[in-house]
Structures are given as structure tokens and as C-alpha cells.
Amino acid sequence: MQFSLKIFEELSSTNNYLKQLSETRSLQEGVVIVARKQTRGYGQKKAPWISQPYKDLAMSLFLKPDFLNASDFFLMNVFVSLALFETLKHFLPSPDIKIKWSNDLLVNDKKIAGILIENRFLTTKLLDSVIGIGLNINSESFPRNLSYKFPPTSMFLEARKEFPWEEVLNRLLSELGKHYEILKTSPDVLRKQYENLLWGKKQTLRFKTSYGEEFSGNILGITSSGGLRVLVKSNEERVFYSKEVEFETF
């Protein structure tokens, strides 16, 4: 894929900027917006996303996955998570890198990257996607916040060395391009890889639903639409979608 990369010194949010751009003109696939300093980045549930200016990566990518049915939109999460996984694996030789369902990357049980995909649908098809990626590259510390379930980390903190920011961006773009092509032809291969990399897969975990129910269970994998399959006591399988359930502190 051809990327058209635009790097800004400062933006409030690369996702908002790209969404507005796509609403005002017709964009080609592959437009990438990067902000060296992002002042009002946001993540899932509109939570603020803080990246250190000039140290971390805040980027958004525009795609038109018109080959995907609206019901398969979760596959966008899958291919982006795997591109991030491969990028991290390239730069961090040994740590334990996992994908936390549905869209975080963890290194040694700490959160190193988050993904926020904002889709537009046209009847049963995916019209376009703004894929926001926040990757902690060279941050040396994070504000202390005891409520983190998965404390933040960065590539710098895990490897104890700085990484050339542009090299990480280029590698990530090349992995995104590669995995997007695989998505077009072999989505099931990606789905399997994603399942194999799921954090917590071999442990018994505590879950809490959005309506306050708590239970223990084991992750079995994901459904074709991205629901988390959990085996709860008494061998009952339940499926949850991303805002319905959270992992409890363990």
C-alpha cells in the first residue's frame, strides 16, 4: 500500500483531525497523520490518552475496507493488533508481548500501546476507518495512578534504551501494509494468530460485567465477530462484546 504521510508538530487529536478531513473531502486509502505533540488525544470510552511530545507515537491511518462486511469490522482490530505485535517483536527481542482483548498491546503485563478504530458504515459494508494508534516509544515515566489495571510502559522502559522514533514509525507502517494485504485474502489466518496471542489465555481470570456481575473463567478465543469466548464454571461458554466485560484486578 502507498502511504501518504503527513507529520504535524502539534494537533489536538490525530483521529479527530483525520475524521474531519475525511468528512470534508474524499480521501485515498493510506493517508497517515502523525502528531509529534498531541494535546487532546483520546482512547476507548473517550478516556484521555497521554503521549509524551516528541517521544511517543500518536498516529492515525485512513483506510477504506470495502471488502469487509460491517459485521466483520472486528477484523480491523485484529490486523492492527498483529501489525503492532510484529513491530514490538522486532524492536524488543525477548519480552512477553500479548494482545489484550480487544485492542491493547501488553509487554510483560503492562500496556504499551492502544488502538482506537472509528468506522463509518454504509448499509452492510464498512465504508471507511480511521485507525488511531498510540504507541509508547521513549517515555521514561508515567503519572502515578493506582487505578490502572494494566500499568503503562514504553519500549524505552522495557529495553532500557531509546529508539529512533522514525524507524519505529516506518516499521509499523510497513507491518500495517503487510497485514492489511493478508486481511484481504486470509482473514482466518490473522484471526488464529490473534487468538494465539491473547493475554490471559492459559490462566483463570476474574471478570466483571458492565452490570456488576463477577465471575471466574478461562478465555477460549474470539468469535468471528470479535466477541470474547469465556468458559465459566460448570462448563458453560459465554460470549462478551467489548464494553460488556472487563478483567478484574488480579
Site for ligand BTN, rule CB under 6 A: 13-15, 41-44, 47, 49, 58-60, 104, 114-116, 132-134
Minimum distance, C-beta of residue 178 to ligand BTN, in the bound complex (Å): 21
Provide DSSP, 206-250: EEEETTS-EEEEEEEEE-TTSPEEEEEGGGEEEEE-TTTEEEPP-
Minimum distance, C-beta of residue 56 to ligand BTN, in the bound complex (Å): 8
Minimum distance, C-beta of residue 51 to ligand BTN, in the bound complex (Å): 6
**Cβ proximity to ligand BTN, 58 vs 126, nearer residue:** 58
**Cβ proximity to ligand BTN, 102 vs 193, nearer residue:** 102
Provide DSSP, 105-170: EEETTEEEEEEEEEEEEETTEEEEEEEEEEE--S-------TT-SS-B--HHHHHTS---HHHHHH
**Cβ proximity to ligand BTN, 58 vs 97, nearer residue:** 58
Minimum distance, C-beta of residue 235 to ligand BTN, in the bound complex (Å): 33
**Cβ proximity to ligand BTN, 27 vs 231, nearer residue:** 27
- 4-11 and 31-38 strand pairing: parallel
**Cβ proximity to ligand BTN, 103 vs 193, nearer residue:** 103
- What's the rounded Cα separation, in Å, for the pair 41 and 145? 18
Minimum distance, C-beta of residue 124 to ligand BTN, in the bound complex (Å): 27
Sequence-distant (6+) residues with CB within 8 A of 69 are: 124, 125, 126
